[in-house]
Structure 1
């Protein structure tokens, strides 16, 4: 006896799923992870049973948001490849990381929750290979200091992204200043620069660090 073919979801079911995810992302970005499924259903004028059919638990909803965020990161990594200049790819990666945090401020907290609940779902950033190659090429061209690693660039981008939680007007003042300092810090070594101590962390360690980061309280 063969298994019956799986039925494709109806268009209205797919539309409901999209509405739930869109609304959940907006509310969670504004208020944090603990917004309940019941509240989401109520605000959408949707039966809670409909929400549960798509997302049996709150963590299932967060997992779908996590996959959504990963798709955006994949797209950003593909866009980096459109830039011919290696140094510009590195700078653009930093800027994209900040922009992503502005657009999806809850993404890191979602990643931290997934590390605890669905650790098998964690992924190394698809932009990592692009940045690693760009850093190596920019170093060969004398545009980035030799002792910088691609993971250092990712950490710098994360540090700048954390500044999006500052209130205005401080954010508008500090973010571009810290960006300028960060870019100067990776410039080719000169007499005024101290050599970097120790060694860089690995890509695997960076993934673990990134998924431990939480939204500041």
Structure 2
């Protein structure tokens, strides 16, 4: 059964509000602040999201969907290699900025946390694979290799200029030093 339009609207408002509140205050921000920010009562919040982890998972799922959609849009970019590394820059920012949100999704008994993370990992890998395939990387480099390297850069705590430089190093190494590698900006 499809939820009523007002219920879908309320859910969407709550997720958007939570995204903003969690970004500003962290994932442990009070849920009543999320409801207030959305202009919706606490009872409605808990009807849609009975547990904090449900709301956290909904917010993180939206973040993953945004990243996937950005990758899909980049598939039409005229320079496939630049598109791949622009998306890897977005992925790196996602890992750096959304890691705490993802880690705050608790693993309650009987929860679907493992399945959710497997799904989200698959979405990221599929997006990277589509972009990498289009870019025609060397045979020695897999999309998952690029995700692991970008994750390492994100978790290093390096400032933006260094992360951009490190992505350029990966680009040169993964493209076999082709002409033009590293010239385009990475996000």
TM over 0.5: yes
> Counterpart of 1:90?
84
2:72 counterpart of 1:72:
no
8 Å contact from structure 2 (residues 137, 174) kept in 1: no
Query: Displacement, 1:70?
Result: 2.7
> Counterpart of 1:121?
116
- RMSD between aligned residues: 3.0
Out of 102, 112, 120, which is 1:111 matched to?
102
SS of structure 2 residue aligned to 1:67: helix
After superposition, give the CA deviation of every residue in 1:22-41 in whole Å (9 maximum; x if it has no partner). Answer: 12111212332212322322
> Counterpart of 2:130?
130
**1:145-156 → structure 2 map (5 Å cutoff):** 146-156=139-149
8 Å contact from structure 2 (residues 84, 128) kept in 1: no
Query: Displacement, 1:71?
Result: 1.8
Structure 1's unaligned 5+ residue stretches are 1-5, 140-145, 190-217
Task: Give the structure with higher Rg (CA).
Answer: 1
Aligned length: 168
Q: 1:179 to 1:8 in 2, by over 3 A?
A: closer
8 Å contact from structure 2 (residues 75, 131) kept in 1: no
Q: Which has the higher helix share?
A: 2
Structure 2's unaligned 5+ residue stretches are 178-187
> Counterpart of 1:181?
169
**Could you tell me how far apart the structure 1 residues matched to 2:175 and 2:3 are?**
53
SS of structure 2 residue aligned to 1:82: coil
The TM-score normalised by the length of structure 1 is: 0.62
